[in-house]
Amino acid sequence: MPFLPLSTILSLRKELEGTAAEILTWGSDGYGDSIKQWSDSCDEQVGAVVRVTSAGEAAAVVRFAACHEIPFAVKGGGYSTSRASTARGGIVLDLLYLRRVNVDPVSQVLTAQGGVLWEDIDVAAAQYGLAVVGSTLNHIGVAGATLGGGYGWLTGQYGLAIDNLLWAKMILADGSVVTASEDQNQDLFWAIRGAGQSFGVAIEMSFRAHKQNHPVFAGTLLFSADKLPRIVDFVNRFETITNGKQGFWFGFTASPSMAECAILVVVFYNGNQTDAEEFFSPVLSLDPVVNETQMLPYDSLNGMLNAMDTMSRRRSHEGFDIMFPVDEIVGPRKSLRGSNITLPLDPKLAISIYHEFGGILRNFSTARDSILLFELLPNTQVAKVHNDATAFASRGPYYNASSLFRWHDPRLDEEIHSLQTGLMDRIGTCAGIRVRSDYNVTMHGTGIYANYAGILTGVAPQMYNN
């Protein structure tokens, strides 16, 4: 049975007696909802979910789990597809109630509790004309994303989230609470910036904020497959024309409005619409099938991909043999994997990857909601920090590639994972940094973004903020 003994549950309740912590176990109201993850493939029957309201309560749970040698995980946003935020038969420390954000507009410093989502930070900072380098999806947890590095649309100007992290309050495995910063516990501060999910529970974090008192130009576009070579041509010129205020993603996905796999483009420009449209004119002039670019307030920017992240597509088009019941939710099982590319990108390789990805969508109809992206965020600021300055070891001349596969049938798990891994490995093998003859791991890093690795990393897998 994947449950804790009753005696252990009673001991846990006694440990937290007199606190506001909420303990959910099998059979109790809310238990079923409490174990739900973003991906159904990560749902696990756990011994207990403990929702805490303070650092002291969280420390008591960590100490209890360690003393009793109970499998343990931390749930922030619950966004991991690798089961990092659940513990079968063990204890899940749920930070759902720790979502307070404090902004000091004078010092331009923002402090967030461990359960804060990026949406919380974006909205709070915007009240003072500020922004923090953060995720490109606003419904994921701040702590988990930051501890793995933290790319965002502002990375081209200000670096990674960890490059703007001032300090973090950490709960260690023995239940002690320490502050890690440049001045305190420096070794721990080095480690949590890039490999931080394995060293403790980030119960509070403080970030440097930046002035952002104007809207930005951003949005998504869809193109037919014949436009891919010209889009790749723009990609190969991106490094020479960006000043750090732009971002350009492109990739492949199925669209309800198109019979074949579409070319998806996501653009970002931290400036006015006239300048943005001039910068992206080589792409905007390609007659997109869908153009949803517009001026946006920054605090809504990181929600622009949320609809694509959660939407269900049920139509059947020629080339995609799909018939779903009306009430079917497509693609609840999810798997995230990453790789990297260097420029220039070979257009023939891009076309080949497009056909391979499209073939997977045709052969596995319930995986049609999957997406593959090449993420060009200017890396000049990232590279200014030496690879050994933090535990984040991917500060080289390359860009992230990511794939998020979604499917419905658990019997397809192994096959989908194999196809996804093979595809991402091929991208890295053919276009990644390791292909270069001058590749040096000390100089260029690993080329693997921890948040896209899709596997658990580190030496202490009982500690996670996902």
Contact of 137 with 307, CB cutoff 8 Å: no
Please give the DSSP secondary-structure letter assigned to residue 115.
T
Q: Please report the pLDDT score of residue 259 as a whole number.
A: 80
Q: Looking at the DSSP assignment, which residues form a beta bridge with residue 177?
A: 171
- Extended strands (E) in 254-384: 262-269, 290-291, 294-296, 333-341, 371-376
Q: d(Cα 107, Cα 113) in Å, to the nearest integer?
A: 19
Contact of 91 with 74, CB cutoff 8 Å: no
The values of phi and psi at residue 185, to 5°, are 50, 55
- CA nearest 25: which of 42, 39, 11? 11
Distance of CA 395 to the CA centre of its chain: 18
Q: Please report the pLDDT score of residue 59 as a whole number.
A: 97
Q: Which helix (H) or strand (E) holds 186?
A: helix 186-195
Is the preceding peptide bond at 347 cis, omega within 30 degrees of 0?
A: no
Side-chain-side CA neighbours of 132 within 13 Å: the count stands at 38
Q: How far apart are the first and last CA of the chain?
A: 25
- CA nearest 218: which of 165, 325, 297, 163? 297
Q: Please report the pLDDT score of residue 322 as a whole number.
A: 36
Q: Please report the pLDDT score of residue 310 as a whole number.
A: 42
In terms of phi and psi (left: phi > 0; alpha: psi -120 to 50; beta: otherwise), the region of 129 is: left
Distances (CA, A) of 425 to 121, 147, 340, 370, 403: 34, 24, 9, 17, 11
Q: d(Cα 99, Cα 320) in Å, to the nearest integer?
A: 42
Q: Please report the pLDDT score of residue 41 as a whole number.
A: 63
Four-point Cα dihedral 153, 159, 162, 163, nearest 10: -150
Q: Is the dihedral of CA 420, 423, 427, 429 positive or negative?
A: positive
Query: CB-based contacts of 356: which residues, under 8 Å, 6+ apart?
Result: 423, 426
Cβ neighbourhood burial of 14 (10 Å; 0-12, 13-18, 19+): exposed
Predicted TM-score (pTM) of the model is 0.90
Q: Which tokens hold the place of 360?
A: 């997977």
Contact of 290 with 267, CB cutoff 8 Å: no
Q: Please report the pLDDT score of residue 82 as a whole number.
A: 67
Strands 48-51 and 22-24: antiparallel
Q: Please report the pLDDT score of residue 81 as a whole number.
A: 66
- Extended strands (E) in 44-105: 48-51, 72-75, 91-94, 101-104
Q: Please report the pLDDT score of residue 43 as a whole number.
A: 67
Q: d(Cα 312, Cα 328) in Å, to the nearest integer?
A: 9
Q: Please report the pLDDT score of residue 321 as a whole number.
A: 40
Q: Is the dihedral of CA 127, 129, 133, 139 positive or negative?
A: positive
Q: Which tokens hold the place of 65?
A: 């789990």
DSSP string, 414-445: HHHHHHHHHHHHHHHHHHSGGGSTT--HHHH-
Q: d(Cα 342, Cα 188) in Å, to the nearest integer?
A: 32
Q: For the chain, which residues score pLDDT lower than 50? A: 1, 310-331, 455-464
By residue count, the chain amounts to 466
